[in-house]
Structure 1
């Protein structure tokens, strides 16, 4: 499946659920307490992070989405920290304040990257603590493309059916990260995303993917769901949809450091991608990549747009070499995010010779990354007549991709590279020969976008035509 980076900045998502504060106390432990057989940790650093539904919202905000959040906090310091952190992350938080219950807080004690202890501070919320949810959600749904219910069984989501019905009346799809042993409370949601343990607790033990599919199909029929995405840890993800082939995606091949919050990242990326216009299978593949990133981090964490973009590029094999236009545009976006200057040149490059190599080495020096756009076979015949090119497009691109100076090689079939230049918007356009800057095709486009145009000299007595003529006369 070809995976692309969606326009997350266009996505508007509403998250409703159990918000919490994740606290981390870091320190070194070198001895056992004389009072009890437990390690003594000398705390040297404390850290507060958004957790639960707040972490789901943070993951979406980190991708560039416009995010709103509805949840419950206590009238305490933890609630104030949560509110400030959400505001700092650019998340519009409309939180109901409970006067009788504390903000749900999880405190983890960590030494040498190992979690030694977790302490939970919570008192399950009741109906009175989320009594304003329907009004708050109704007000925010008008500016949402999708709604996520993030259920951590802390009591904030007292009436999921009312929220789901409200969203559907507004034409907004609903995704649910479920908890508990009664999934009927999520009836009529579009997609639910249980982990494998939660899934088996509802449908029964599954010893094979065939059983996962069969039991998942029954679950979808019973609850009128349009999809179930089962997160299976090291086994990857399984997407089930009524009357459509199942999709099993293997886990990303990287070292697992901490699975805390991985489920948040999956549903956040899934929802954000759907809101940005991707299909459910495409969004699932993207969520799988994002999950592979976040498990390599310690504690509750999010995935940035830049991290996800780089992972997509790596997944598509587009870090360098021969690429499609879409792969090129993603790779350029990542390079620009790193502050790199993009250099563009184009040509036929029929028989690679010393003149080409020297020219491309000089072109690369004009910036950080060099794109070589190569004429298609048909466009060369149109330019140079029958009998050319000598080498077909795939071979010409393969040779260029093997040069150290070249980062990306992309084909184009137009008479000129102007259409491609409009998409790439290079920082520097380079051409070799006796042209003046104004004679270079696409020069005005590049300069209009704030770029530069440079003409480089060529190695004398080196040309494809002269090489071909020499071969023919010998």
Structure 2
């Protein structure tokens, strides 16, 4: 089982506050909404949010950022405790923070405070960049990337560097593996290089492609992925671009979606994936992030976490189930080896997801499969089985169990529905009493006849029929 590679995040951390309430009337003295029943939530923002999202993927993360002794810096340091390793740069002035006032999920007002700026690299920070296997730079224009620009330029020549630029920041160092501006950011950066009026008109996609090509050439970047919101991302290496569309249309709070995209892409490049593969997976990750509620679906009050590592930490699945349950939704779980994922598996998982508001897949570890199926199994190792499952749009989270049966994991997840294939119709499942003990229900879903991993492996081993068609 492969362990996700460590990631170094360099950038400007922010402290974000959301004040959420109801707006049911206008103020008597001015035509402005009155927000009542407000609840205040503080959370990491900027590079700190990107670092936390990367850590939530199960990888060790180190964050290099400017922090001071002001109240906002102290609060952010507490929120980051046990999530990421911190390397602090000195900060002049208080840490930047922003406060959003929301009525339901609709922002009404934003307040920005703090003008702190990171100054001067430290030996520890320079050493962290030099030794990092991969780097994500989240440059909000508040000094961190500038302080380490020389070390980052050296790193980009030897290892994957992903640069997430923002309007107040500078251009990436030359040689970055991937830059990830939004369409508006790409337009702004490309406009800085215009010496004559550019050709007018064109669709949004044509403009994004033109801007991406300009930035690849002028920044000296290996590739630029322009994020297009709900449409996905446009990946350019300087020539004909590749459109990587979102798998579904996700509606919701998109705050932090760019950080989710950049963190996912950087993490996969750290793992050795190709740029196209990393960007495609990052589109899926950002889509899922928005559909699950964005930053408001994340929990910051409890910072106790399991050590990072493993292909799919159980606490991620538990967090998904807890958020859905707290919102009054239905948690569905399904389990199995999922060795050589086939149409029968996909049909079961899609049907299970439609029965509730999230689907957690419980998958046997390699040792568990070997004990159940014999020494020749699994055919596909755990890390790859998990990755394929996570790529399915109907799957919200994956959790691994090492026992022969998933009762212990089910006891932690406590799903409302435990989904099984219809081939168990005449079988009394051993986990049924457990699921029913908390009011859950075992539900059978139709099974596609003739689909099985054993059958697929047998047919593959025996070769095609003389007619040339598969057996």
TM-score range, shorter chain: 0.5 to 0.7
The aligned runs of 1:148-297 (5 Å cut-off) are 148-159=136-147, 161-168=149-156, 171-180=158-167, 184-204=171-191, 207-208=202-203, 209=205, 212-242=208-238, 246-297=241-292
CA contact (8 A) 1:15 1:150 kept: yes
Q: Deviations over 1:241-289 (max 9, x none)?
A: 246x532011231331111111000000000111112111111111010
Q: 1:181, CA displacement in angstroms? A: 7.7
From 97, 108, 113, the counterpart of 1:116: 108
Residue 194 of structure 1 aligns to a residue whose secondary structure is coil
Unaligned runs of 5+ in 2: 192-199, 299-314, 321-332, 351-377, 391-396, 408-420, 433-445, 462-471
Which deviates the most, 183-192 or 44-53?
Answer: 183-192
CA contact (8 A) 1:328 1:410 kept: no
Corresponding residue of 2:355: none
Q: 1:28, CA displacement in angstroms? A: 2.7
The answer to whether residue 125 in structure 2 is matched with residue 105 in structure 1 is: no
Residue 49 of structure 1 aligns to a residue whose secondary structure is strand
Corresponding residue of 2:20: 26
Q: Deviations over 1:61-109 (max 9, x none)?
A: 00001100011123222111111111132x00112242x4111111112
Residue 180 of structure 1 aligns to a residue whose secondary structure is coil
Would you say how many aligned residue pairs link Structure 1 and Structure 2?
352
Unaligned runs of 5+ in 1: 1-5, 344-356, 369-399, 418-474
Distance 1:124 1:86, change over 3 A: closer
Corresponding residue of 1:132: 121
Q: Distance in 2 between matches of 1:104 and 1:284?
A: 30
Corresponding residue of 1:402: 448
Distance 1:291 1:247, change over 3 A: same
Q: Distance in 2 between matches of 1:51 and 1:342?
A: 37
Q: 1:235, CA displacement in angstroms? A: 2.4
CA contact (8 A) 1:257 1:295 kept: yes
Which deviates the most, 294-303 or 222-231?
Answer: 294-303
Corresponding residue of 2:80: 86
Q: 1:143, CA displacement in angstroms? A: 4.9
Corresponding residue of 1:459: none
The answer to whether residue 83 in structure 2 is matched with residue 95 in structure 1 is: no
Q: Distance in 1 between matches of 2:85 and 2:226?
A: 29
Q: Deviations over 1:416-464 (max 9, x none)?
A: x9xxxxxxxxxxxxxxxxxxxxxxxxxxxxxxxxxxxxxxxxxxxxxxx
The aligned runs of 1:384-399 (5 Å cut-off) are none
Q: Distance in 2 between matches of 1:154 and 1:230?
A: 22
Q: Distance in 2 between matches of 1:174 and 1:113?
A: 34
CA contact (8 A) 1:161 1:187 kept: no
